[in-house]
Amino acid sequence: MKVGFIGDIVGKPGRRMITRYLKDIRAKEGLDFVVANYENASHGFGLTPKNAKELFSAGIDLMTGGNHTWDKSEIFEMLEEMPLLRPINYPQGVPGRGYKIVEVAKEPLAVVNVMGYFTMPMVDNPFIAANKIVDILRSEGVRTILVDFHAEATSEKRAMFLMLKERISAQVGTHTHIGTDDLVIDEGAGYVTDVGLSGCRDNVIGMDAKVPIQRFLTGLPGRFDVPEKCKSILQMVVFEFSEGRCKRAYKIKAYDDEGWQIVQEGRKE
């Protein structure tokens, strides 16, 4: 089973890169399933029905959320009607679901969406929530489990992986928009602290740099905007799973119109 994961898609530049490259990547790499993080896909904040349909049509099968999940009011109905997740550790009673089991290459694959504590909205303990759902999935016979941990702190992401690695197939990090170079296969579980954004790469986390710089200089708030024109990037991690364990992990990047390539192989520990 080959599963691709795309980090935070940020606005129109990110969607353009997905539309331009994903179908070609799927075909040439033989991907069975593609997951992506949607929380910044519509002008940097949340997801609209139109943009969701655009991304699914481009070759994404399932999307995960995060702290910007609720930024567009339409998301409440979309979570019930589309293959979209929101973090599993939002309080009880919140619409949507935090995990989904799908059949891929004639095997069950579970995708779990969890959100961290540091700088995030109020949520239940992510470590307790992740422990509980992973144990439930395994008790139901699901061996292939992919976790998207949407968190700011690298220490939270690393601790989560070390807690879960014997029971999951892979954990990816999202939210910081900055790709890390620590892709690894540790005792049969794939891991990367953050996949990195797909969108503008010459600004500040995919947003026009003017407001963030002014905010750092003065402390005054301002509206973050995604530029219409910029230098763009697509970032994706691909995992090969067999019998619930990760056999190979590698990173793919595409820059603007320069095509895509494998840029990193996950080190086996």
109: in domain: yes
Query: What's the confidence (pLDDT) of residue 221?
Result: 87
Work out how many domains the chain is built from and give that number.
Answer: 1
244: in domain: yes
Residues in the chain with pLDDT < 50? none
- Using left for φ > 0, alpha for ψ between -120 and 50, and beta otherwise, residue 219 falls in left
68: in domain: yes
Q: Note whether 230 and 201 are within 8 A (CB).
A: yes
132: in domain: yes
Which of 68, 150, 175, 177 is catalytic? The answer is: 68
pLDDT digits (tens, 9 = 90+) for 227-238: 988 999 999 999
The dihedral sign for the CA sequence 74, 77, 83, 85: positive
216: in domain: no
Query: What's the confidence (pLDDT) of residue 4?
Result: 98
> pTM of the full predicted structure?
0.96
13: in domain: yes
Those residues with Cβ within 8 angstroms of residue 176's Cβ, 6 or more apart along the chain or in another chain: 152, 194, 205
Query: What's the confidence (pLDDT) of residue 258?
Result: 96
CA dist 139 and 156 (Å) reads 25
For position 186, which CATH number holds?
Answer: 3.60.21.10
Residue 89's Cα: distance from chain center in Å? 16
pLDDT digits (tens, 9 = 90+) for 42-66: 999 999 999 999 999 999 999 999 9
**What residues make up the domain containing 130?**
2-200+231-268
68 catalytic per annotation: yes
225: in domain: no
